[in-house]
């Protein structure tokens, strides 16, 4: 009886908890529902099953997380750009302080019986003890007796040979004939006092009879012109915008250093062929300080041809100044941005020079090297505008210090712009993916 009564009670309870009953009196919890499950065949035991939530909430959480991550990444990029700009400004301030200190006048000193002017900002004249006086036999051995296969170029001073010294140092040896011995030794001592990251270092010299030699560090990647244009002066597209900016800035700093010395050391023959590139494509200016070691007629244009790098005002004044170097640097910037060579202009050649093309260009976009691409056009146009200032009449030309500062500003803008564009591209890839479909 007890068992039967119990079973009867369970059936009654089961009927009491039937789905119909629950439909008439819904549960207080709207997120749960009652489902009847079959247990032991006939007996139905009600169970409570949670109502499944929709899929919208996890998708919204994923979207929010991705947007938050993208925002955080963009914030990091902005912070990095601001830190970089601050560091560049601190660097400029420190360099200006150094230039101010280096502009103080310095006394004349005696060096090995030769009276020389000690350039302010240059190393002590006693540091020239590291300058090596090489023998003729050492140079012959280094160049395989001045073999033609070792010739790597020719400049105002003469032929340039690549050589290997006995201590393993690779050097560039410049050979000159018939220079006054007294002038040669004096100028060598002065050049040896000059040292800067963007100047080719003089490491030794040799004087033998009627020929003299200057021995420099060997710069492996040649001059900038070799990377800008081919044998016909047309663009090759080997250098991107970032590399050209760094080269322009490095060369400008080298010339600025020479001009900051007391008295200023004029280059007097600056051009693309005298801007060399090392393994890291760092620009190094060569052939500085040679003004008294070459004949004077090499500085001025002849009646039959015009050197585009030479300041046209020299034809009347015959007097070099820092502004003459600025003019040459402006032509260098035109080559750097156009990718074309500033050729000598002959009287029989009626084609406009690179300088005339830049001045007469209504749209600088047409002047800029098209291999740089549209993304680099803004920075390239700013450099061309700076170049046009450099080739103005001398009173209007900027100083090399101002040129360095302007190139640094262009570099800051270009790097910041490229970082932001890269961040935008990353964001576009994320938002355009299949994540939200």
d(CA 359, CA 280): 33
31 contacts 48 by C-beta, under 8 angstroms: no
Q: Is 174 annotated as a binding residue?
A: yes
Taking alpha carbons only, the member of 401, 418, 385 closest to residue 240 is 418
* Binding-site residues: 174
Residue ranges for the binding site for ATP?
174
């Amino acid at each position: 009886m007890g068992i039967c009564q119990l079973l009867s009670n369970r059936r009654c309870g089961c009927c009491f908890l039937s789905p119909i009953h629950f439909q008439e009196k819904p549960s207080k919890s709207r997120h749960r529902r009652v489902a009847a499950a079959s247990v032991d065949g006939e007996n139905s035991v009600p169970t409570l099953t949670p109502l499944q939530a929709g899929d919208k909430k996890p998708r919204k959480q994923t979207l929010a997380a991705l947007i938050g991550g993208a925002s955080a990444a963009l914030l990091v990029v902005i912070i990095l750009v601001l830190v970089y700009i601050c560091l560049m400004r601190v660097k400029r301030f420190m360099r200006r302080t150094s230039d101010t200190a280096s502009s103080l006048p310095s006394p004349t000193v005696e060096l090995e019986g030769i009276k020389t002017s000690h350039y302010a900002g240059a190393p002590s004249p006693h540091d020239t003890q590291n300058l090596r006086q090489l023998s003729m036999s050492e140079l012959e051995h280094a160049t395989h007796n001045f073999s033609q296969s070792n010739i790597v170029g020719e400049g105002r001073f003469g032929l340039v040979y690549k050589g290997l010294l006995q201590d393993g140092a690779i050097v560039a040896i410049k050979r000159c004939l018939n220079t006054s011995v007294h002038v040669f030794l004096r100028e060598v001592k002065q050049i040896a006092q000059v040292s800067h990251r963007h100047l080719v270092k003089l490491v030794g010299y040799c004087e033998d009879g009627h020929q003299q030699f200057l021995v420099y560090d060997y710069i492996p990647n040649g001059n900038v012109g070799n990377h800008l244009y081919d044998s016909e002066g047309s663009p090759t597209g080997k250098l991107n915008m970032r590399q050209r900016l760094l080269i322009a800035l490095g060369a400008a700093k080298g010339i600025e250093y020479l001009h900051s010395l007391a008295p200023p050391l004029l280059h007097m023959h600056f051009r693309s062929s005298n801007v060399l590139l090392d393994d890291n494509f760092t620009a190094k200016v060569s052939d500085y300080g040679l003004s008294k070691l070459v004949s004077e007629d090499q500085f001025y244009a002849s009646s039959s041809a015009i050197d585009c790098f030479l300041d046209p005002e020299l034809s009347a004044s015959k007097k070099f100044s820092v502004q003459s170097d600025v003019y040459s640097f402006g032509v260098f910037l035109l080559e750097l941005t156009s990718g074309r060579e500033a050729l000598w202009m002959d009287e029989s050649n009626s084609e406009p020079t690179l300088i005339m093309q830049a001045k007469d260009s209504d749209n600088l976009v047409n002047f800029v090297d098209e291999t740089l691409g549209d993304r680099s056009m803004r920075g390239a146009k700013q450099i061309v505008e700076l170049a046009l200032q450099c080739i103005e009449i001398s009173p209007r030309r900027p100083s090399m210090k101002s040129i360095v500062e302007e190139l640094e500003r262009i570099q800051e803008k270009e790097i910041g712009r490229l970082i932001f564009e890269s961040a935008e591209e990353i964001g576009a890839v994320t938002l355009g993916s299949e994540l939200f479909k």
